[in-house]
Amino acid sequence: MKKNLCKEENMAHYDAANINDKLIINFRDIKHVMHSLYEGRGSQKRILMLLLKVGTITQQKLTEKLGIQPGSASEVLSKLEKNDLIIRTGNPNDRRTTDVMLTEQGRILAEEALEQRQKRHKEMFTCLSEKEKANLLALLEKVNSDWKERYQNIGRHPRSRHGKPHAHSNHSEHFAQRDEKNGHSCDGNCRDCLHPCARGEHHQEYHDNARNHRDNEER
């Protein structure tokens, strides 16, 4: 009952949304589906398929390609090695590095995983004709290219006045703080903000609200 009610509320919200919001809602829903279909960056299947593609590779370069921490990569590789899916040997040219390669059993599993992924990719777009897929690809490439340039600095860690990254480990620490004096949300980007990590990039709305608040107090 609750599930159906929630679904109806979501549909009502979608129907009432403008076209831009509907696009974002669909991107968000697609992201959730993609997340459920695919393993994480450091999953065993991804490592096996990557090794199938590149062949023998050093553990350091493999970790870089995966985009995960060395400790996490080492943990997963140890499990794969224990299951006789990979072999790790010392690099003959550099004793400080370790080479990683697939075993025969690992190669078989990697080929199976790759075949399953390709089958899934084909299945995911069976609702579209070849022309519709081409049109969709062209539009997505256009949006993707624009967003990469438009939002290229979003998510980068702010730097202090000395040019060094802040010590905060979580961006939410910045956004969670509030200016106790005027009660406005603070993201640390406004000079009028009490946040100690202000970068000097004005957020005009917050800037104006803070100024108006002070002016009202002075009156």
Reply yes or no on whether the pLDDT at 54 is more than 80: yes
Domain 44-112 adopts which CATH fold? Arc Repressor Mutant, subunit A (1.10.10)
Distance, CA of 8 to CA of 13 (rounded, Å): 9
* Mean pLDDT on 38-58: 87
pLDDT at 2: 61
Name the residue ranges covered by the structural domains of the chain: 1-37, 44-112, 174-218
b or e along 140-153 (b: 16 or more beta carbons within 10 Å of the residue's beta carbon)? eeeeeeeeeeeeee
110-124, 152-166, 197-211: range with lowest mean pLDDT: 197-211
**Phi, psi angle pair for 53, to nearest 5°:** -80, -45
pLDDT at 96: 81
Distance, CA of 48 to CA of 43 (rounded, Å): 9
Mean pLDDT of the chain: 77
Ranked by mean pLDDT, which of 75-79, 165-169, 176-180 comes out on top?
Answer: 75-79
* Mean pLDDT on 188-204: 42
Q: What pLDDT digit, counting tens, does each position of 145-162 carry?
A: 999 999 988 866 555 445
Distance, CA of 180 to CA of 186 (rounded, Å): 10
Cβ within 8 Å of residue 87, ≥6 positions away: 81, 100, 101, 102, 103
pTM of the model: 0.56
Question: Is 48 within 8 Å of 106 (Cβ atoms)?
Answer: yes
